[in-house]
Amino acid sequence: MIYLVRHGETTWNRVGRQQGHDDSPLTETGVDQARAAGRTLQRAIPDIQSVCLETSPLGRARQTALIIGDVLGFDPNKILVTPLLIEHHLGYWQGLTQAEIDTRYPGAWQAREENKWDYVVPGGESYALVAERAKQWLAGERHAAITIAVTHAIIGRTLQGAYGGFTPSETVARSHRQDRIYRLDAGRVEEISCDA
């Protein structure tokens, strides 16, 4: 069983900046979202000994994983940092807003909107490339009966898509909200609301 958790809201999320492999810290709301995810997982998982907590190497995910681990009483030294869980590389767009992308790279945003699955962001990745990483992670060894994976929006969607056997268009349309957890179990993807 796998629980996917997106990192809490960051300062760049709040102002609409593309993060990709760049980073920004959690806001107070983001910290609250991470705590709520931890409480939701605490209710869902009766035995913390059966859990492996993995996280993307990016700071916003690691900060979220530490908060969740604290709520669960999980030893922070046992959190696994997993490079395959890193977010979609947004290349030259990282740190920019949509308006800034439109100014610097006219037509690029629209081109991506028309074919999100295959469009490779200049200097970065496409959804299709991220999906290959998602499949690789899903095929890897699980270290416990239950895995909590702290991820990001796009890698989270592609993990759901790869696990559930969704088409590219279904995968791109998936949600990976910061106030939801996604349980992957028995071939199904279930969305769970995080209580405040």
Q: What are the catalytic residues?
A: 7, 87
Is residue 134 within 8 Å of residue 159, measured between CB atoms?
yes
Q: How many other C-beta atoms are found inside a 10 Å radius of the C-beta of residue 119?
A: 18
How far is residue 56's CA from residue 65's CA, in Å, rounded to a whole number?
9
How far is residue 194's CA from residue 102's CA, in Å, rounded to a whole number?
35
Closest CA to 193 of 33, 83, 1: 33
Is residue 171 within 8 Å of residue 127, measured between CB atoms?
yes
User: Of all helices (H) and strands (E), which one includes residue 72?
Assistant: helix 59-72
How far is residue 55's CA from residue 125's CA, in Å, rounded to a whole number?
20
Closest CA to 55 of 47, 63, 45, 44: 63
Q: How many other C-beta atoms are found inside a 10 Å radius of the C-beta of residue 167?
A: 10
